[in-house]
Amino acid sequence: MEDTSASSNYPTLAPLARQVIPAVVSISVESRVPREEHPFLRNPRFYRFLKAFGLPLPKHVSTGRHHRSVGSGFVIDAGRGYVLTNRHVIENARAITVTFKDGRNYRARLVGSDIQADIAVLRISQVPSGLEALRFGDSNDLEVGDFVLAVGNPFGIGQTVTSGIVSAMGRHGVGGNDSSGLIQTDASINPGNSGGPLVDLGGQVVGISTSLLGPGGGNVGIGFATPANRVRVAMDKIL
């Protein structure tokens, strides 16, 4: 039986995936989500009422609850250990952990963020040897029908690569992003993909996955990414 594993003529995106994957990370965030208090607990008359009838006063009112969430990101500066992700991924973070495909994980801190572009730059605590960074492409060169890959950590199950095409350009009013038109793609983008790269067939980042449309938060072939050129402008302000 002929072995075609090394010399197959079948089309494959494996070389592209191998090129991109080492620079993509999963992001785990520990945060504290504010808990809404009953209005009685903010009313002095309520406490006077309790005292008047000899009832016990509340000893402690919790101000929030612990929450864990996951997202994605990618290395943009190998020398300084800078990682790019969505701002909403690390919002209210008390602790951020960045994990690479090979299992290495590092604590990270926030360098800066841009709320309008929904991006954040992180710096990992220790820059590992052999770190690789992704390069940005020109998102103005994108056209409807161009092939793209999305890499990320959907639902926290681990690094995943999906492929598709650019479905539309210049989408507005979706995902809570600003008015700079978004890239629409049918490459599967699910919760946890946020912050991961959308790359072209040259391995260059043309967008950053940011949101999706679908019942129950599931993918139905409509995902959105912030164009790379918009991201770069915001990054320059942060760095």
Determine the residue type at 116: Q
Q: How far apart are CA 219 and CA 167, in angstroms?
A: 14
Q: How far apart are CA 201 and CA 203, in angstroms?
A: 5
State the sign of the Cα–Cα–Cα–Cα dihedral 26, 119, 203, 173.
positive
For the domain bounded by 139-238, which CATH number is listed?
2.40.10.10
Determine the residue type at 45: R
Secondary structure of residue 156 in the 3-state scheme: helix
Q: How far is CA 108 from the centre of its chain?
A: 14
Active-site positions? 88, 118, 194
Q: In this structure, what token pair is assigned to residue 127?
A: 């820059």
Give the tens place of pLDDT for each residue, 5-63. 445 678 899 999 999 999 999 999 998 766 655 555 556 665 666 667 666 666 555 55
pLDDT of residue 33: 63
The domain segmentation of the chain, as residue ranges, is: 139-238
pLDDT of residue 2: 45
Give the tens place of pLDDT for each residue, 120-140. 999 999 998 899 999 999 999
pLDDT exceeds cutoff 80 at 228: yes
Q: How far apart are CA 237 and CA 113, in angstroms?
A: 9
Q: How far apart are CA 16 and CA 166, in angstroms?
A: 17
In 3D, which of 148, 30, 6 has the Cα closest to residue 97?
Answer: 30
The stretch 80-104 carries a mean pLDDT of 94
